[in-house]
Structure 1
């Protein structure tokens, strides 16, 4: 790997630093410095208490956002090193902007910093509150929150705001390199074929892209980081390093979440075997079913998998292939269902070895299927998988979604968590607007309000066209601008809590407990 010079555009940092500014900057590589800064951040440490799929229970059996991020970092680094080991691939990625193993590992470790309490469920609730209660047009999105943390709200780094990462690492964190509505122009949501995540959510038309990686408050940082990509890739495309991070996230999710729920007995052999087996034995008959016949998927095995096959053709025709799909289903049945799930996990040496062998075999297969595409289709990045492995990832993810995420008991658990987050926002907002108690606000919340007011006031002066409400109206006037700032600050604060902190804070602020609050607000 070639040495990088400090004055290269890729290594440029937003703010100047004194020579002794970086408390964790123990080596000379600027990209390794980025990785160390993210790993030293309290926002990274808090991920140990944030939901991956279900709340961390203290048992150590389930992944949380911290262990997930560490594994994504491992996979991302392995992919980057594999790309660098092939001269043709290395030459191509250099032309596209570069692929440094430290950059992709840093981006992988930082990609989930913005996940709020209770994971994706918390993300959905905070987005609705941000748009409907506070009129924030860009709402809340975990990827955008991650970028906001590393550029703005992290206050323990070498500069007063953010971690002052290099341009390459900031670009690599941008998994969806656009804002919800305003950037770039033309916006990817207007393209004939939409990049993955750029479409509007089906239940919220007119609200902009369902996935995005920056709020309007951080657009200057996005533009500066993405200047590296100008003339190399399209404005809506991920940088090569962001593409590696994204693929590593998919691979880790496909393998490790399945392992989690096998460990605790949730992923049942019979149900998964029946679904996959019925589809394989009735593939021709299922393919002839009318669309409406697939609506009753959960009671008739094979139909959920058939619905997946059809969605793949509709959304990803560039790669969807029926023979590759059938082979992927057969491989997953053989190696997951007939091999791993056939024997209930009991904590024995044999069970642990079977789990480790499954993980190692699949990791090697999927990383071994990575390729560099000089002209990728719109819905994938420059770093992607060969068709066989791509289909296998889709089937593995299907097993997780169908037999874990769609369980009724998980839905019941999540409905309570959603109510908890909404109640906490209400309670904090009441506190924030109570003039008699304003001086006793948590210091961290006070600082976030000050920061957000500065940002939105500056936008009102310099770029008023970016200040639109959730229904598209122009936001004008000091009070209206400050309302946006208050909303962003409350959302920032709630999003910075762990699952348990959110629950304990709500109990305290609503009088449900007489125990004094003992945790300092360090985030």
Structure 2
């Protein structure tokens, strides 16, 4: 259901800025019969994109080849985020009370827009998950002098507005302003975080990744700034650093899905040691009073001692998000996760039986249903929150669920060794393509798509220098080197895990299987 504001605009036959595209769009007769077909067109355009299809072969956290087909990849994750986002958006858009009026004043909350943004939100993820994102960020800065580096959210926006194409050159998928704006989780440039101090008065993600290094998270490169400005103009009631309502819904859905679907994967793969996790939870609850008086340095030194990691989690939440962090709510969240997950789900190892499948399905469904119905709407939210946010209880529960992954999976030494090997694959690919494009005798035989992406980046850098010279770094390599670097990064980021491994073997002379997996390079 659309917002009341949109319904009024339709009744008056007034144009809705949310429907604006970068190029004129002609809808067929079937589409014109629907009341609001434009957003449905966007959703299908995203779903039919090759960038969306490739997500089936991009790692979420652990590889399918190492843990079986049951684990999530970026595609299955995106599909489930879309389902959760739509459910939340339907709930929000049907509210006819005070919260519904706030939503209407902010620009509305169309379920299909939230669904489309959720489908698109991970398009920019490179091979090998977050490890690949960190590696490409470093390579973009160190190899090519690209101060903005690489960021998965900004890459998503670049894909839908520039790199992917439907039927018109230069307009990307030519999506409506509503969907483009709903993808902007962090609606600012990296440079806008350079002088930020971080802390509870800084928008989430705008905190510098390092002193002077710019925002840790951002959703648009300077090259694509015009598209962000165009999309955001459709939402005059949304503040500079705030998400649209549909974007906030997508962001919450991503958090819910991530916290539970990764838990599903790790439980199936037998990677969560119930005894170890139970010891952490029991120790924190038993020693909470004593732990509260420990110096932060002492806690970090003894972080592996049971109970210390949960105490550090609570302190991080209290320091960064005092607008919602509540000690009683955190204690309740720890108790609920301990009862339902640690002493409940994990107490019986997953054995692949039908009973185990039913138990896991019931557990996941119950949690998702409760969390997606635990949302509130605010006209003037805190700077680190969105107009739509989780309730205090649900916010703490999601934080504790994420803690399970971060503490007991992502910090595993065996995973770190594997990821370092994946990082070296990306390094060799970037260096190999850079050397190829720098070879005047053989550059013409480089992959056509790579050459096209370099040309696009060159056009974008020229336009940025002409329209926004203040955004062009005065120091560093010339624009040709930067354009080449951005084109290479765009190319490598669009590979699947398997394509990256195969290309690495080929370009470094380690494969004799010439034709396998090389189509469309």
User: What corresponds to 1:268 in structure 2?
Assistant: 273
Secondary structure, counterpart of 1:208 in structure 2 = coil
Does residue 124 in structure 1 map to residue 134 in structure 2? yes
Cα distance in 1, alignment partners of residues 165 and 295 from structure 2 = 56
Contact 1:136–1:484 (Cα < 8 Å) also in 2: yes
Does residue 284 in structure 1 map to residue 289 in structure 2? yes
Q: Deviations over 1:411-445 (max 9, x none)?
A: 11101001111111000111111111111110100
Contact 1:24–1:36 (Cα < 8 Å) also in 2: no
Secondary structure, counterpart of 1:282 in structure 2 = helix
Cα distance in 2, alignment partners of residues 34 and 49 from structure 1 = 23
User: What corresponds to 1:222 in structure 2?
Assistant: 228
Does residue 104 in structure 1 map to residue 114 in structure 2? yes
Secondary structure, counterpart of 1:494 in structure 2 = helix
Cα distance in 2, alignment partners of residues 480 and 302 from structure 1 = 52
Contact 1:13–1:167 (Cα < 8 Å) also in 2: yes
Distance 1:187 1:244, change over 3 A: farther
Q: How does 1:323-334 map to 2 (within 5 A)?
A: 323-334=328-339
Alignment counterpart, residue 189 of structure 2, candidates 163, 179, 183:
179
Contact 2:186–2:205 (Cα < 8 Å) also in 1: yes
Distance 1:190 1:272, change over 3 A: closer
Alignment counterpart, residue 210 of structure 1, candidates 213, 216, 219:
216
Q: How does 1:351-500 map to 2 (within 5 A)?
A: 351-468=356-473, 473-474=474-475, 480-500=478-498
1:17 Cα offset (Å): 3.3
Distance 1:257 1:190, change over 3 A: closer
Q: Deviations over 1:345-398 (max 9, x none)?
A: 001111111101110110111112111112111111011011111110100000
Secondary structure, counterpart of 2:376 in structure 1 = strand
User: What corresponds to 2:94 in structure 1?
Assistant: 85
Cα distance in 1, alignment partners of residues 161 and 418 from structure 2 = 34
1:292 Cα offset (Å): 1.7
Contact 1:24–1:40 (Cα < 8 Å) also in 2: no
Q: How does 1:288-367 map to 2 (within 5 A)?
A: 288-367=293-372
Alignment counterpart, residue 240 of structure 1, candidates 241, 245, 251:
245
User: What corresponds to 1:198 in structure 2?
Assistant: 206
Distance 1:187 1:242, change over 3 A: farther
1:459 Cα offset (Å): 1.9
Distance 1:454 1:497, change over 3 A: same
Distance 1:227 1:187, change over 3 A: farther
RMSD value, Cα? 2.2
Contact 2:78–2:122 (Cα < 8 Å) also in 1: yes
Cα distance in 1, alignment partners of residues 33 and 160 from structure 2 = 19
Does residue 164 in structure 1 map to residue 178 in structure 2? no
1:494 Cα offset (Å): 0.2
Q: Deviations over 1:194-213 (max 9, x none)?
A: 00000111xx3212101000
Distance 1:227 1:297, change over 3 A: farther
Contact 2:22–2:171 (Cα < 8 Å) also in 1: no
Distance 1:161 1:12, change over 3 A: closer
Distance 1:384 1:187, change over 3 A: farther
Distance 1:25 1:344, change over 3 A: farther
Secondary structure, counterpart of 1:365 in structure 2 = helix
Contact 1:197–1:210 (Cα < 8 Å) also in 2: yes
Cα distance in 2, alignment partners of residues 192 and 292 from structure 1 = 21
Cα distance in 2, alignment partners of residues 224 and 270 from structure 1 = 53
User: What corresponds to 1:29 in structure 2?
Assistant: 37
Q: Deviations over 1:243-287 (max 9, x none)?
A: 111111001011110110000100111111111111111111111
Bigger mean CA deviation after superposition, 45-54 or 286-295: 286-295
Contact 1:370–1:383 (Cα < 8 Å) also in 2: yes
1:296 Cα offset (Å): 3.1
Contact 1:243–1:382 (Cα < 8 Å) also in 2: yes
TM-score normalised per structure 1: 0.93
TM-score normalised per structure 2: 0.94
1:447 Cα offset (Å): 0.6
User: What corresponds to 1:140 in structure 2?
Assistant: 150
User: What corresponds to 1:66 in structure 2?
Assistant: 75
User: What corresponds to 1:17 in structure 2?
Assistant: 25
The answer for unaligned runs of 5 or more in structure 2 is none
Q: Deviations over 1:156-190 (max 9, x none)?
A: 4555541000001000000000011159xx98778
Contact 2:200–2:320 (Cα < 8 Å) also in 1: no
The answer for unaligned runs of 5 or more in structure 1 is none
Q: Deviations over 1:216-247 (max 9, x none)?
A: 110000000011222x1211111111111111
Contact 2:199–2:320 (Cα < 8 Å) also in 1: no
